[in-house]
Structure 1
Amino acid sequence: MQALDILESGSYYHIYNRGINSCDLFIEEDNYAYFLNLYEKYIDPIADTYAWVLMPNHFHVLLRLKDVEEIDSTELKATHQYFSNLFNAYTKAFNKRNNRHGALFERPFKRKLIENDTYLNRVLLYIHNNPVHHDFCSHAIEYGWSSYLSCLSNRPTKLKRKEVIEWFNDEANFKYMHQHAMASKQMEEWLGLE
């Protein structure tokens, strides 16, 4: 079994996972929305989210785990337990709806500690351009199940979009960098996701 990074409060992480045997996690449109609702319920209390994308058979999230002082102490438990609760709740609903049983997500879920600003920006670009890399669209703006549009919107959101835009200096550079992100294979190698 591979060694996993311990989830440390106050740190940024790239969290990702896929369906067991690469099976689809999201079959119908409302599956995506349901997963996001569960994410809000289980993960928002312990983390700030900066980017996300939901693909048919996998997902990616860029987040910062809150410091212990920022979390309601009445609900405090091991960080991985919040993710386990998310995956279990979604799996139970998905299995019931699709008349299936057993595991849905690969275990353990993947996590990469982000230790510098360059890596942080590259992960964000990788997440938003994931639908482009998998040929679902030609630009991140065309894919509805990612945080790219939320970053550019004025609508209320829990996404830390102000900070995200500041990482790229301004909205114009944010858009420019997304249009000129490196090729998928090169990005995966650079991020160590092979």
Structure 2
Amino acid sequence: MQKTENLESGKYYHIYNRGINGENLFKENRNHEYFLMLYTKHIDPIAETLAWCLLKNHFHILVRIKTFEEILESHKEYEIKKIIPIHQSFGNLFNAYTKAINKGYNRHGALFERPFKRKLINNQSYLCSVIKYIHYNPVNHGFCEHPIEYPWSSYLTCVSEKQTKLKREKVISLFENLDNLKSVHNKRENFTLLEEFLNL
């Protein structure tokens, strides 16, 4: 059985999951929008987001879990009623989304595989690789030819100037500057080894 990482404050994690039995998680655009709304409610108070991508039957998210002090700082901004274990915030997100999909599409039972997958990221090179991997997921699955063409990922936010809670400046700095980030994302890459490590 694959070991499940504990989510520790101050550390970076690649979090990902798929629909149970390969079922689609996102059936139409409003599903993506609702998931992101729930994400803001449940995850923004406890984590910084560096990258994300929502595909039909799975998703990828790259986060830095906030320290306890940072979560306390978020307390007023997000009107958190009580501080709960980090993994429970993700559980609450997935449960709330599942309830909405079940109600909206007349289905029952689990929607996501359990437990959700997570991998600790412990160096900058790995961090950059995961960011590019997440942005390239729609390309690898044949939805588009370049990450900029896919609307449900953080790449468009990274290369724009619109206001965002995404840690855009942090992401750009990891690639040195915006031009280099774009240049790196213009090069196709084989992610077979990374996917084997992720057990995908």
Common topology (TM > 0.5): yes
Give the secondary structure class of the aligned counterpart of 1:4. Answer: coil
Partner of 2:162: 155
Uncovered stretches (5+) of structure 2, i.e. residues with no partner: 76-80
Percent of paired sites with the same residue = 58
Letter in 2 for 1:183: N
TM-score, structure 1 length as denominator? 0.96
Uncovered stretches (5+) of structure 1, i.e. residues with no partner: none
Return the alpha-carbon distance in structure 2 between the equivalents of residues 165 and 22 of structure 1: 33
1:95 maps onto 2:113 in alignment: no
- Equivalent pairs counted in the alignment come to 193
Measured against aligned partners, the alpha-carbon deviations of 1:140-189 in whole angstroms (never above 9, x if no partner) come to 00000000000011111000001101100111110111121412324424
Contact 1:125 1:181 in 2 (8 A): no
1:83 maps onto 2:62 in alignment: no
Give the secondary structure class of the aligned counterpart of 1:135. Answer: coil
Letter in 2 for 1:172: D
Give the secondary structure class of the aligned counterpart of 1:188. Answer: helix
Measured against aligned partners, the alpha-carbon deviations of 1:60-88 in whole angstroms (never above 9, x if no partner) come to 00000000011136521111110110000
Report which stretch shifted further, 83-92 or 175-184.
Answer: 175-184
Return the alpha-carbon distance in structure 2 between the equivalents of residues 181 and 168 of structure 1: 16
Give the secondary structure class of the aligned counterpart of 1:71. Answer: helix
Return the alpha-carbon distance in structure 2 between the equivalents of residues 145 and 6 of structure 1: 27
TM-score, structure 2 length as denominator? 0.93
Partner of 1:137: 144
Letter in 2 for 1:63: V
Partner of 2:43: 43
Equivalence map 1:1-194=2 (5 Å): 1-72=1-72, 75-189=82-196, 191-194=197-200
Partner of 2:78: none
Return the alpha-carbon distance in structure 2 between the equivalents of residues 10 and 26 of structure 1: 30
Return the alpha-carbon distance in structure 1 between the equivalents of residues 102 and 172 of structure 2: 38
Instruction: Compute the RMSD of aligned alpha carbons.
Output: 1.2
Return the alpha-carbon distance in structure 1 between the equivalents of residues 193 and 138 of structure 2: 16
